[in-house]
Structure 1
Amino acid sequence: MADDDRSPEEEFQELMRQLLGGAGGAGGELDAETLSRLSGMQVDPAMMQAIMRQMQSAFSSTDAEGISWDAAKTQALHIANQDGQAISSGQRADLDQAFTLATLWLSEATAISDLSAPPRTITRGAWVEQTLPIWQELAEPVATSIADALTATLSEQAPDEMQGLIQGAGRLMRTIGGSLFATQLGQVIGRLSTEVVSGGDVGIPVMPAGEAAILPQNFADFGRDLGIPDDQLALYVATRELAHARLFRHAKWLRLQVMSQVGDFARGIHIDTGALEDLASRFDPSQPEELRQALESGALIPAKSEAQELALARLEHLLATIEGWVDVVTDAATSRLPTSGAIGEAVRRRRAVGGPAEQALGSLVGLELRPRRMREAAAMWRAVTDAVGIAARDALWDYPDLMPEPGDIDDPAGLIARLQARARGEQPAPDEFDDALARLLAGEEPQDPAVAEGGGDDLDAELEDLDDDLRRDDDGPEDPRPV
């Protein structure tokens, strides 16, 4: 069949072959013959050139899942490395000295042991390299949702005679949406690298487990307008960073718990297809600023669902509990510093408000990482410390079952009473779970009145789960909760 006799579907198929096979020339440029055919198909050649350049770039760098996280890394490192990466010997020596003294002070303020790896001073680029896997894990559900929504939207808008081709190019369309999101994520993470002062600055464990680090360049920016001597500021920041890293190293379950709750929230994210369709109807690939602004502003992510609100509440409680403990331990360890109170207040305000990049990250993935009840959680930890001491307080991090609940933050009296009873060797009062387990082990049927009346479905389910657990082989992990 001669070229002139090709149908519009065959013409488009040939364009796709050029795109995927690189036949369009360097940079995705189309030859004169193809441009002429495009005009005959009533397609704007300039727009198709721009589309093909973006699609070729995305497709050439995509990974097996169709999302180019390399693009995120490239964008983030480009921003992080703009102002140079050198750490002076004086900066390194000053912060190393602060870490050394902070380690000694922390030994008096917490029973949690020291880190096995020495703390470090790192560049913004190194922070990007080490933390990007966590940001990728955090953002991947949103990127996938955007890619799926873009595929569906373009499929709905395509003519009937091209539906087969659109479906066949589904992976490529997912790549476009994922690549655009990944690029935007990289820009936000790059800007975040210019704001964070230490590894634990954003609340979640973005650094490798058991590692502590300070970014000297951002540390200098943070202290510039505080009017506090640099050596005192360095001691406070170093102490806080070490306390945060020690906690996550000691409570090995905590990292998984945080990321699991982030995942619970992220799995509920979906994209507002109506907003995306409206955007796609006027989208110009040569000028993608509107799409980028929509991504960063959160305009494509609708209001949180009820399940997401519950997941967010659980995550906020856990982050507040972590940050409150870090606050109390840091304040106790740095009590010798004349400016400790002023620095602590500055840090708390900074964590409560967040910087521009952190706010942009919240809009991009729909998740804010700022604990709302950090001060109340800190008050709870102080009350617990005063009542039972440092060792009993820190033992609460040994197992997830021992952790304070939201009600304990509101009123620590119950938590303190349980800890004091344990210190006296008294057994804690059995709860509903303990009663159900005892009945099951004794071979008894549930005696709760609600069960007899047909209202004990939840308890029946709980007993069935307990029975399954008891019948399970001993190969699985043991329940660490003391019985």
Structure 2
Amino acid sequence: MFGGDAPDPEEIQRAMNQFGASGMPFDPSMMDPQMIQNIMGQFQSMMQGSDDDEPVKWDLAKQTARQSVAGQDPSVGSFASTEVDDAVRLADSWLDQATTLEAANVPVVAWSRAEWVEATMNNWREMTDPVATSLSEALTRAITEQLPGQMPEELQGAFGNMQPMMKNLGGSMFGLQLGQAIGELAQEVLSGTDTGFPIAGQRMALLPVNIEEFGDGLSVAPEQVRIYLALREAARMRLFANSPWLARDLTAMVQQYAAGINIDVSAIEDAVQNLDPTDPESMNQMFSGSMFIPEPEGAQKAAIEQLETLLALIEGWVDVVVTEASKPLESATALREMINRRRASGGPAEHAFGSLVGLDLRPRRLHDATQLWATIHESEGMEYRDAIWESQLRLPTAEDLDDPEGYVKRRETADEQSASLDDDLKKLLEGGFEEDN
């Protein structure tokens, strides 16, 4: 674990015997050599040095995410890839009748869970780096100041100077937890945009193994499940492809929110005080149910509400368009209800990810957004509805979610005011006001 200065395992055992993994007397007969190796391996991952000084060990996060799906991640064969291609091709043909937005001209891929991790990790990093860095630095400070004094004397003697390890421990612990959460997400997501963000970039991606597990027990033909999910993925990608500003705005909103987060340092210090340095599992439990990010207030609350509104608008539009496009599917209604329940509640991995970075991946006003788009479609038609996505200035607001029927009137008033301002500016630039006088 520490090269030539590695401590004697028997010395570690004696120290652990006195400390106990959970405050109880330790029975050495319960720890076989393999268990010792596993514990030392986890300590090594967290404490080993790094070639960079980054507060968050992102390489460790990706490695952990990959390891969490290993052994339960069959590779995607040519048959499954063909099924995905066929489903997306059919989905696009049906969407042509349900929206004026053109199909996204992007590659179609069928990914394993590990491939999803590899393809999305950099985007997760880009979105969450500000809050991850703040949390990691606060955790490192708390560990450096408090943890050495909590270790038994024998263990301190075995490990020697712990300062170099302490420097890396906070970032490594957080990297492990974040990697585990992303790895668990990889076992739940169904497509590249399933989280609401274009996390897979300029690719239309489906995960066959997750889709198969999602369809288990639904009493729905697998091909119908696959086509319905392809419809949702293709619809979102049409939005992102036809409104390039949309993906940029989503990322910017997340980064703005994350950059302003205030970390609850006292909560981290309390958690470190209860950390058992001889029990790697306690390091996992430290993050379980813990929230080091206080409830947002003021500008932070406004920022997260703006993000939630935009995510709800995206999912609401997708719901309305896919409901129209999926009419040929016999099980479309049942699948829609299942997806909406899933979107509303979220899975365990999403909650774990949210507790780490303070970001809820599920829009809370999905029903209101769906009602808004349906109302606009009924009163103004498909072209008017889809043209709203041409500009950020036309997007509905939280006020519009409260009053869907009033959106069109408010939009007309805003357009009239904007046109009047443009006319006044034109007259000013042309000297029209002086002539009038």
Q: TM-score, normalised by structure 2?
A: 0.80
Aligned partner of residue 108 in structure 1, secondary structure: coil
Quick check: 1:130 aligned with 2:107?
no
Structure 1: runs of 5 or more not aligned: 1-21, 160-168, 444-483
After superposition, the C-alpha distances for 1:157-189 in whole angstroms (9 at most, x for unaligned) are: 599xxxxxxxxx999645321111011111111
Quote how far apart the aligned CAs of 1:152 are: 3.6
- In the alignment, the residues of structure 2 paired with residue 238 and residue 298 of structure 1 have an alpha-carbon distance, to the nearest angstrom, of 36
Q: Name the counterpart of 1:258.
A: 250
Q: Name the counterpart of 1:430.
A: 417
- In the alignment, the residues of structure 1 paired with residue 146 and residue 372 of structure 2 have an alpha-carbon distance, to the nearest angstrom, of 56
Preserved CA contact (<8 Å) 1:294 1:300:
no
Q: Name the counterpart of 1:227.
A: 219
Quote how far apart the aligned CAs of 1:335 are: 1.2
After superposition, the C-alpha distances for 1:415-439 in whole angstroms (9 at most, x for unaligned) are: 32366x69xxxx93216x9759958
- In the alignment, the residues of structure 2 paired with residue 227 and residue 158 of structure 1 have an alpha-carbon distance, to the nearest angstrom, of 53
> Of the candidates 57, 60, 65, which is equivalent to residue 71 of structure 1?
60
- In the alignment, the residues of structure 1 paired with residue 92 and residue 331 of structure 2 have an alpha-carbon distance, to the nearest angstrom, of 19
Quick check: 1:29 aligned with 2:6?
yes
Preserved CA contact (<8 Å) 2:192 2:206:
yes
Q: Name the counterpart of 2:154.
A: none
Quote how far apart the aligned CAs of 1:344 are: 0.7
Q: Name the counterpart of 2:364.
A: 372
Aligned partner of residue 312 in structure 1, secondary structure: helix
Quick one: structure 1 residues 281 and 372, their matched pair in 2 at CA, closer, same or farther if it must change by over 3 Å?
closer
- In the alignment, the residues of structure 1 paired with residue 404 and residue 172 of structure 2 have an alpha-carbon distance, to the nearest angstrom, of 48
- Overall identity of the aligned pairs, in %: 38
Preserved CA contact (<8 Å) 1:111 1:391:
yes
Structure 2: runs of 5 or more not aligned: 22-38, 149-161, 430-437
- In the alignment, the residues of structure 1 paired with residue 42 and residue 68 of structure 2 have an alpha-carbon distance, to the nearest angstrom, of 23
> Of the candidates 122, 129, 136, which is equivalent to residue 147 of structure 1?
136
Quick check: 1:273 aligned with 2:260?
no
Quick one: structure 1 residues 305 and 108, their matched pair in 2 at CA, closer, same or farther if it must change by over 3 Å?
same
> Of the candidates 76, 87, 91, which is equivalent to residue 76 of structure 2?
87
- In the alignment, the residues of structure 2 paired with residue 270 and residue 171 of structure 1 have an alpha-carbon distance, to the nearest angstrom, of 27
After superposition, the C-alpha distances for 1:264-304 in whole angstroms (9 at most, x for unaligned) are: 22123233222222332343333132332232423333333
Q: Name the counterpart of 2:241.
A: 249
Aligned partner of residue 117 in structure 1, secondary structure: coil
Q: Name the counterpart of 1:186.
A: 179
Quote how far apart the aligned CAs of 1:313 are: 0.7
Which letter does structure 2 place at the counterpart of 1:105? Answer: W
Preserved CA contact (<8 Å) 2:320 2:370:
yes
Which letter does structure 2 place at the counterpart of 1:356? Answer: P
Quote how far apart the aligned CAs of 1:129 are: 0.7
- In the alignment, the residues of structure 1 paired with residue 196 and residue 287 of structure 2 have an alpha-carbon distance, to the nearest angstrom, of 23
Preserved CA contact (<8 Å) 2:49 2:168:
no
Quick one: structure 1 residues 320 and 53, their matched pair in 2 at CA, closer, same or farther if it must change by over 3 Å?
closer
Preserved CA contact (<8 Å) 1:325 1:377:
yes
Which letter does structure 1 place at the counterpart of 2:57? Answer: S
Which letter does structure 1 place at the counterpart of 2:3? Answer: G
Quote how far apart the aligned CAs of 1:442 are: 4.2
- In the alignment, the residues of structure 1 paired with residue 236 and residue 265 of structure 2 have an alpha-carbon distance, to the nearest angstrom, of 40
Quick check: 1:195 aligned with 2:188?
yes
Quick one: structure 1 residues 290 and 434, their matched pair in 2 at CA, closer, same or farther if it must change by over 3 Å?
farther
Which letter does structure 2 place at the counterpart of 1:29? Answer: A
Quick one: structure 1 residues 292 and 306, their matched pair in 2 at CA, closer, same or farther if it must change by over 3 Å?
farther
Q: Name the counterpart of 1:347.
A: 339
Q: Name the counterpart of 1:17.
A: none
Which letter does structure 1 place at the counterpart of 2:66? Answer: L
Quick check: 1:97 aligned with 2:86?
yes
Aligned partner of residue 335 in structure 1, secondary structure: coil
- In the alignment, the residues of structure 2 paired with residue 125 and residue 329 of structure 1 have an alpha-carbon distance, to the nearest angstrom, of 31
> Of the candidates 274, 284, 289, which is equivalent to residue 276 of structure 2?
284
Quote how far apart the aligned CAs of 1:249 are: 1.4
When structure 1 is superposed on structure 2, of 312-321 and 364-373 the one drifting more is 364-373
After superposition, the C-alpha distances for 1:378-413 in whole angstroms (9 at most, x for unaligned) are: 111111112222222111111111111111222233
Q: Name the counterpart of 1:207.
A: 200
Quick one: structure 1 residues 177 and 152, their matched pair in 2 at CA, closer, same or farther if it must change by over 3 Å?
closer
Preserved CA contact (<8 Å) 1:212 1:242:
yes
Q: TM-score, normalised by structure 1?
A: 0.73
Preserved CA contact (<8 Å) 2:344 2:362:
yes
Which letter does structure 1 place at the counterpart of 2:255? Answer: G
Preserved CA contact (<8 Å) 2:377 2:385:
yes
> Relative contact order, CA 8 A, sep 6+: which one is greater?
2
- In the alignment, the residues of structure 2 paired with residue 103 and residue 228 of structure 1 have an alpha-carbon distance, to the nearest angstrom, of 21
Quick check: 1:116 aligned with 2:105?
yes
Which letter does structure 2 place at the counterpart of 1:84? Answer: D
Q: Name the counterpart of 1:320.
A: 312
Greater Rg over alpha carbons, structure? 1
Which letter does structure 2 place at the counterpart of 1:204? Answer: F
- In the alignment, the residues of structure 2 paired with residue 62 and residue 253 of structure 1 have an alpha-carbon distance, to the nearest angstrom, of 36
What is the aligned residue count?
A: 396
Which letter does structure 1 place at the counterpart of 2:339? Answer: V
Aligned partner of residue 295 in structure 1, secondary structure: coil
Quick one: structure 1 residues 52 and 206, their matched pair in 2 at CA, closer, same or farther if it must change by over 3 Å?
closer
Q: Name the counterpart of 1:469.
A: none
After superposition, the C-alpha distances for 1:15-55 in whole angstroms (9 at most, x for unaligned) are: xxxxxxx9x525x61489xx9xxx9xxxx9x9xxx999847
Preserved CA contact (<8 Å) 2:192 2:204:
yes
Quick one: structure 1 residues 287 and 235, their matched pair in 2 at CA, closer, same or farther if it must change by over 3 Å?
same
What pairs up with 1:464-483 in 2 under 5 angstroms? none
What pairs up with 1:400-411 in 2 under 5 angstroms? 400-411=392-403
- In the alignment, the residues of structure 2 paired with residue 55 and residue 440 of structure 1 have an alpha-carbon distance, to the nearest angstrom, of 68
- In the alignment, the residues of structure 2 paired with residue 321 and residue 139 of structure 1 have an alpha-carbon distance, to the nearest angstrom, of 22
- In the alignment, the residues of structure 1 paired with residue 294 and residue 283 of structure 2 have an alpha-carbon distance, to the nearest angstrom, of 16
Preserved CA contact (<8 Å) 1:198 1:241:
yes
Quick one: structure 1 residues 241 and 442, their matched pair in 2 at CA, closer, same or farther if it must change by over 3 Å?
same
